[in-house]
Amino acid sequence: AIVGPEHVLTGDHIPDDYSRDELGDLRRRPSVVVEPGSAAEISRIMAFASEHVIPVTVRGSGTGLCGGCVPERGGILLLTTRLNRILEIDTDNLTATVEPGVILLDFQEEVERLGLLYAPDPGERSATIGGNVSTNAGGMRAVKYGVTRDHVLGLEVVLPTGEIVRLGGKTVKNSSGYSLLHLMIGSEGTLGIITKIVVKLLPRPQRTVTLLVPFPSLSRAIGTVPKMIKSRYIPQSMEFMEREVMLHAEEYLGKAFPHTSAPAYLLLRFDGETREDLEQRSE
């Protein structure tokens, strides 16, 4: 009655994918899958579930590795896939307002088209923004730009009772009282269901360069990392790889790395405004 029968799945009509995430080991089928189209509908679902003591698990695109979207207690599996609109990109204030079902890759491409950057960049770009917020996703850019938490300014959240609350907003300074905004970020849907997200944007760097740096040992590679952090040449991202892992990756992907003879490597990426600046920092 709340969402319409076309947005409800039961029994054999529920795909097996909805019983797990990419972790794979944890599985449990929900009793019913519901796909609401608004915060108001989610509010009514939560009020109904609260009154009848029915477990509710929220799910985005199911790409997580923490089991957070697996309905361990059965009940209602609530999908956010219909809440997939980019509501606003404010180029003056460098913010964007999106619904939780927006796919990360689609959002990044849209803001980059406007010369802007949404800095969080987890490895799985088919994830939803809501899932990123719920797991406080990081990624390689965290070295310079931080994780998802550092880029969320505001949230609209439906609480388990059905009440809709708004936390934070399009402001940088918000220094009074409990930080309920940050309590919600990373809570994996256990405290409420996110229905709207305000994130901050940055001017997009004009150029990037990637370096693959070989080292004679893993300890030498690791020892270089704090030196990099202390220097004024902070990379956008930094990862380490050992030779054995690279060889396995080559075999699995059917692609060759440009260099595989060293015991360990650092993969560095720098961003900047000019080629001269990047060449200087790379050197």
Q: What is the pLDDT along the chain (283 residues), one digit of tens a residue?
A: 999 999 999 999 999 999 999 887 899 999 999 999 999 999 999 999 999 999 999 999 999 888 899 999 999 999 999 999 999 999 999 999 999 999 999 999 999 999 999 999 888 889 999 999 999 998 888 888 999 999 999 999 999 999 999 999 988 877 788 889 999 999 999 999 999 999 999 999 989 999 999 999 999 999 999 998 888 778 888 889 999 999 999 999 999 989 999 999 999 999 988 888 888 888 8
- Name the 3-class secondary structure at 218: helix
The predicted structure's pLDDT at residue 124: 85
What per-residue confidence (pLDDT) applies to 151? 96
What tokens were used for 64? 């997580």
Cα separation, 244 vs 112, whole angstroms: 36
Contact indicator for 177, 42 with CB cutoff of 8 Å: no
Strands 32-34 and 8-10: antiparallel
pLDDT score at 25 = 84
- What is the rounded distance in angstroms from the CA atom of residue 95 to the CA atom of residue 108? 13
pLDDT at position 283 is: 85
pLDDT for residue 282: 84
pLDDT of residue 192: 96
The whole-number pLDDT of residue 125 equals: 85
Backbone angles phi, psi at 95, to 5 degrees: -135, 165
C-beta neighbour count of 200 within 10 angstroms:
18
Task: Pinpoint the alpha helices (H) of the chain.
Answer: 39-52, 104-113, 129-135, 142-145, 180-184, 218-230, 243-253, 275-282
Buried b / exposed e over 233-256, threshold 16 CB at 10 Å, is eebbbbebbebeebeeeeeeeeee
CA torsion through residues 27, 32, 36, 41, sign: negative
Structural Rg of the chain based on CA atoms: 21
Measured over the CA atoms of residue 1, residue 13, residue 77 and residue 58, the dihedral's sign is negative
DSSP letters, 41-74, are HHHHHHHHHHHHT--EEEESSS--SSSTTS-TT-
At residue 264, the pLDDT reads 96
Tell me if 242 sits within 8 A of 275, measured CB to CB. Answer: no
The reported pTM is: 0.89
Give the C-alpha separation, 208 to 272, whole Å.
6
pLDDT of residue 66: 87
